[in-house]
Amino acid sequence: MKRFERPMLGFLSREEMLAIISEPDDSWTSQRDHLLLRMLYNTGARVSEIIGVTLADVVLDGAACVHLHGKGRKQRAVPLWRSTVRQIRAWLRINPQLQPTSALLPNRDGQAMTRGNVTQRLALAVKAATAAQPQLATRRISPHIIRHTTAMHLLQAGVDISVIALWLGHESPTTTHQYVEADLTMKEQALGRLQEPDAAIRRYKAPDSLVEFLKTL
């Protein structure tokens, strides 16, 4: 295969991700968007998977999880945080009309959201988050960036790469290994800022202005 330079995978810091999820207000749309973004981060799901989740796909009792329908009709179950479970329960209380076959995250017409809907709602959330994280204004944040974020945060938390591959529904471990390469690149960049043990120590030479100032003390 032809060799080429891969760009480093983009992802968000925990602080940036939390700013984007934020706390919802009392409006129906805000509550839905909050749950949408929380579930994208919790599951690392593709947009097509998250908008395809129905009420029947969610298990809230016992080992709470959501069943995702991935590429090639493959299914996988992803565990849910307790906070996500609480948010889903709160969402169901304000939407008692939802049936087992209903989309968990519908639009105003009760139909499943589209990719465009998700992208638009994320853009609005990112814009609001720039008040707390100004650097977000210069970045292009897509739903897939959240998927990368989930993977990188799992990796940095010490989760085995094979588990992350199952979590994301990757058919090949080679795909998941990109996260290891990205994480290693960042660590190498951080290491580059440190002076090596055998590096020659540079002797500090004060400027003439500082020497003259010290003489006056």
Are the C-beta atoms of residues 152 and 15 closer than 8 Å to each other?
Answer: no
Are the C-beta atoms of residues 125 and 76 closer than 8 Å to each other?
Answer: no
Among the listed residues 71, 127, 139, 187, the single catalytic one is: 71
* Amino acid making up residue 63: A
Among the listed residues 34, 147, 148, 153, the single catalytic one is: 147
Among the listed residues 32, 46, 148, 153, the single catalytic one is: 46
Q: Is 204 a catalytic residue?
A: no
Q: Is 34 a catalytic residue?
A: no
Among the listed residues 14, 89, 144, 187, the single catalytic one is: 144
Q: Is 193 a catalytic residue?
A: no
> Order of strands, edge to edge, in the sheet holding 58-59?
58-59, 65-69, 75-79
Beta strands in 27-138, from DSSP E residues, in sequence order: 58-59, 65-69, 75-79
Segment 122-129 long-range contacts (CB within 8 Å, at least 24 positions apart): 122/20, 122/37, 122/146, 124/33, 125/20, 125/21, 125/22, 125/33, 125/37, 126/20, 128/22, 129/16, 129/19, 129/20, 129/22
Tell me the CA distances in angstroms from 34 to 86, 164, 198, one per residue in order. 12, 24, 51
- Report CA Rg, the chain: 23
Q: Is 179 a catalytic residue?
A: yes
Q: Is 153 a catalytic residue?
A: no
Q: Is 71 a catalytic residue?
A: yes
Among the listed residues 38, 41, 148, 179, the single catalytic one is: 179
Partners of 66 in the β-ladder: 58, 78
Q: Give dist(CA 115, CA 173) in Å, integer.
A: 27
Active site residues: 46, 71, 144, 147, 170, 179
